[in-house]
């Protein structure tokens, strides 16, 4: 992603955020008017309610598109110039999320025999090391590596050799946590 792409992405995210707020705000007003119409002009209540529902659907659609765009952009380090993308990746790198992923890996490691996928079976030692690192409070995980881990755990179609390669990349993303006073 080049600087121009990041700028365009930032504009698109801003537009989607504005649409979300505007449409959900208007939906709230329309719901209020529909409620008031039940007392004042019953013939307007149903059309106002229908409008409120449509605006709610449009607002939620903009919200979901915004979220998906942020998640997609988090795979590209250049997009971390944008606050929303950086915050999303940092959330994935947080200790709470890391503990959830460690638990998920524990469950994968617990599968044995015919239930274990080849990529898990051939990566057990590496996965055990990763679990230990994920659970350590004295380590930080690079946000980009946290995004890679989240995507890796969500995608069962990654071939075993690529799976191990990504695990190596993720393991390299751990650093000593900064001490804050």
Name the DSSP class of 172: T
pLDDT band for position 52 (50/70/90)? very high
What are the pLDDT digits (tens) for 68-80? 999 999 999 999 9
Q: Residue 111 is inside which H or E element, if any?
A: none
Q: Please state the rounded mean pLDDT for residues 33-37.
A: 96
Q: What are phi and psi of 35, to 5 degrees?
A: -65, -45
pLDDT of residue 172: 95
Burial class (CB in 10 A: 0-12, 13-18, 19+), 83: exposed
Q: Give the pTM.
A: 0.80
């Amino acid at each position: 992603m080049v600087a121009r792409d990041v700028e365009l992405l930032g504009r698109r995210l801003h537009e989607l955020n504005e649409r979300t707020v505007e449409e959900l705000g208007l939906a709230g007003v329309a719901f209020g008017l529909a409620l008031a119409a039940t007392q004042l002009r019953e013939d307007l209540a149903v059309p106002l309610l229908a409008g409120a529902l449509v605006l709610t659907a449009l607002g939620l659609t903009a919200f979901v598109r915004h979220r998906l765009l942020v998640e997609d952009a988090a795979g590209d380090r250049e997009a971390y110039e944008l606050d929303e993308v950086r915050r999303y990746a940092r959330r994935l790198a947080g200790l709470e999320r890391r503990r959830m992923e460690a638990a998920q890996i524990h469950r994968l490691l617990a599968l044995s025999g015919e239930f274990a996928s080849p990529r898990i079976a051939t990566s057990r030692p590496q996965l055990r090391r990763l679990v230990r690192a994920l659970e350590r409070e004295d380590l930080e995980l690079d946000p980009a590596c946290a995004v890679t881990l989240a995507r890796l755990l969500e995608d069962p179609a990654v071939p075993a050799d690529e799976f191990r390669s990504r695990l190596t990349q993720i393991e390299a993303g751990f650093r000593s946590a900064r001490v804050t006073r």
